[in-house]
Structure 1
Amino acid sequence: MKPDDFDYVSKLLKERSGLVLTKDKAYLLESRLMPLARKRGLKGLDELMAVLRKRDAAVEKAIVEAMTTNESFFFRDNKPFDQFRSVVLPNLLKARANKRSFRIWCAACSSGQEPYSLAMILKEEAARLNGWRFEIVGTDISSEVLKKARAGAYSQFEVQRGMPMTLLVKYFKKKDENWVIDPAIQAMVQFKEWNLLGDLRPLGQFDVVFCRNVLIYFDQPTKGKVLHGISQVLSDDGVLYLGGAETVLGISEHFKPVPSQRGIYAVTRNSGLSLGAPPA
């Protein structure tokens, strides 16, 4: 790819998705965009760039989606989900006992494994949640991965990555080469196309936000912008989950780590849910 074409695409990606692409990743850009060029009947990257420079909105969106990392799997890293089940959820139920409702947001949810994992946890806790209203919202910038998320169909390889066998048997059915998630679990999750760099407030207020392994792709100013946006839609005593390699320290004044709960953060305007131990 020509240097000026690389710079043009890099700027587009930064503006539209926050993704920072350094010159040593030129090979990655070419490997992701060549299939896109072929899909559109173009001879190569030069023709694709010629179309892009005409400000073709469809091509711009396709390039951003092609460069977005969509790595995800069920119950990824386990510990965050164990924390949710044994610490966050019990304390959330105590804190919301009066209104008996709560909302969870999975940002950059990719093909849906994270919100579906949470839905299965809540389904398993049905007895405790009797009479409660809750929502799980999954968002992503890519319309393509959201189609897959809404379909709820996963390959053998995808369900083998982190999925407990007991839950696979209980909540999935084999259909041809895929495993299809139970419609009852599907119905527990709403999927929406949304850009983390945009205004998040129309999504409404949330009590728990998962934004894991997303900030690692952004530069410092963009990380700060995203964290500020999340702070605006997180309830005063809500909690934010980040990935194991991510932190708010030195990036945002809107969040602080929750003591004794690695990877969980509270908004600084309040102490967050009391997460020292689950309520008796």
Structure 2
Amino acid sequence: MTPPDYEYLRKLLKDRSGLDLSADKQYLIESRLLPLSRKAGLPGISELVQKMKGGSADLTTQVVEAMTTNETFFFRDKVPFDHFRDSIVPEIVKARASRKSIRIWCAAGSTGQEPYSLAMCLKEIGATLAGWRIEIIATDLSQEVLEKSKAGIYSQFEVQRGLPIQMLVKYFKQTGELWQINPDIRAMVQHRQLNLLHDFAQLGVFDVIFCRNVLIYFDQDTKVNIFNRLARIIEPDGFLVLGAAETVVGLTDVFKPFPDRRGLYRPNAAGAPPAKLPAAAAAAAAPKFAAMAGR
């Protein structure tokens, strides 16, 4: 791959996905795109770039998806899910006792392990949420990973990574060497293709936003822009969950760290006020809730 090819790909990825690759990440592009080149019947990345420059929109989409598909597994990093179970859900249940509904957004849902981990956490709570309306929206840039998430089918290797054995037995059905998550858990998660660089106000307003291990790849201005837009679609008493290597500190004051809970943040009333959607617009924009009544 020539330096001009690398610069072309860097710019393309920054413009299309926000991925900000430094000058020394050529190895990453080669590891992700050489298999794609061979699959397309091309000898190397230079030929791939030439075909993209020739106007192959489908190939360009495949390149962006190949570079932005990140590793994920069930209950990844464990701590955020402990916070969800021990801090977030109890507070939300108390605060939403009158309306009995929770809206959660997984902003980089990938192949589904994160949103389904949250769904299983809520299912485990059981009677406390009987009659509540639960909505989990999983979005991702890649349509391919969203299709895998919708199917909810995972290999033995995938279910062994982070998933407690009792949850595997309780919430999955084995078919040959594969495991499929049960229909009632799959029904709790809705999927949408979405680019975080684009407007996401149409999703409505959320009580909880998981935006983990994706902002780390963006430059500072892009991070600030996304944080400011997240603040507009989160409830004033909502929760933002970031990855272990991500923070709002030093970037924006629209969120503040939650005391003694690493990676957990809340809207900051002293910062820029969240410009919430009007109730009627939010209701119109939001899809129907998945009910947990009687479960």
Once superposed, which parts of structure 1, at least 4 consecutive aligned residues long, lie more than 4 Å away?
none
**What per-residue deviation string (whole Å, max 9, x for no partner) do you get for residues 81-136 of structure 1?**
11111221011011011111110001111110010001011111121111111100
The 8 Å contact of residues 173 and 180 in structure 2, kept in 1 or not, is answered as yes
Per-residue deviation at 1:141?
A: 0.4
Structure 2, unpaired ranges of 5+: 272-295
Deviation at 1:270, TM superposition (A): 7.0
Distance 2:85 2:187 in 1: 20
By how many angstroms is 1:253 displaced?
2.2
Is 2:10 the partner of 1:24?
no
Q: Deviations over 1:224-262 (max 9, x none)?
A: 111112112111111100111211011122111112222
Specify the SS of the correspondent of 1:89: helix
2:221 aligned partner: 221
- Cα separation, 1, equivalents of 2:188 and 2:270: 29
Q: For residues 103 and 71 of structure 2, what CA distance do their matches in structure 1 show?
A: 24
Which position in structure 2 is the counterpart of 1:84?
84
Give me the CA root mean square deviation.
1.4
Q: Name the residue aligned to 2:150.
A: 150
| Letter of the 2:203 counterpart | L
Does the CA-based 8 Å contact 1:70-1:111 persist in structure 2? no
Q: In the TM superposition, what is the alpha-carbon distance from 1:23 to its structure 2 partner?
A: 2.3
Select between 95-104 and 254-263 the one with higher mean Cα deviation.
254-263
Alignment pair present for 1:165 and 2:149: no
TM-score (normalised: structure 2): 0.89
| One-letter code aligned to 2:156 | Q
Are 1:177 and 2:177 an aligned pair? Answer: yes
In 2, Cα distance between the equivalents of 1:99 and 1:236? 16
What's the secondary structure of 1:253's corresponding residue? coil
C-alpha distance in structure 2 between counterparts of 1:18 and 1:223, whole Å: 9
Counterparts in 2 of 1:141 and 1:92: CA distance versus 1, 3 Å: same
Structure 1 pair 270–168 and aligned structure 2 pair: CA distance change class (3 A): farther
Partner of 1:57: 57
Where 1:216 maps in the other structure, the secondary structure is helix
Note the 1:6-21 alignment, pairs <5 A. 6-21=6-21
Q: Does 2:195 correspond to 1:195?
A: yes
> Residue in 1 aligned with 2:111?
111
Larger mean Cα displacement after TM superposition, 31-40 or 186-195: 31-40
Secondary structure at 2:144 match in 1: helix
Q: Which runs of 5+ in 1 are unaligned?
A: 272-280
CA distance, structure 1, for counterparts of residue 263 and residue 44 of structure 2: 43
What is the CA–CA distance in structure 2 between the aligned matches of 1:24 and 1:36, rounded to whole Å? 21
Cα distance between partner residues in 1 of 2:150 and 2:156 = 18
The 8 Å contact of residues 172 and 181 in structure 1, kept in 2 or not, is answered as yes
CA contact (8 A) 2:69 2:142 kept: no
The one-letter amino acid paired with 1:261 is: R
Output the CA distance in 1 between the equivalents of 2:12 and 2:123.
41
> Per-residue deviation at 1:194?
0.4
Distance 2:162 2:43 in 1: 40
Q: How does 1:91-110 map to 2 (within 5 A)?
A: 91-110=91-110
Establish whether residue 140 from structure 1 lines up as the match of residue 174 from structure 2.
no
Percent identity over the alignment is 57
1:266 aligns with 2:266: yes
- For the residues of structure 2 that align with 1:82 and 1:257, how far apart are their CA atoms? 16
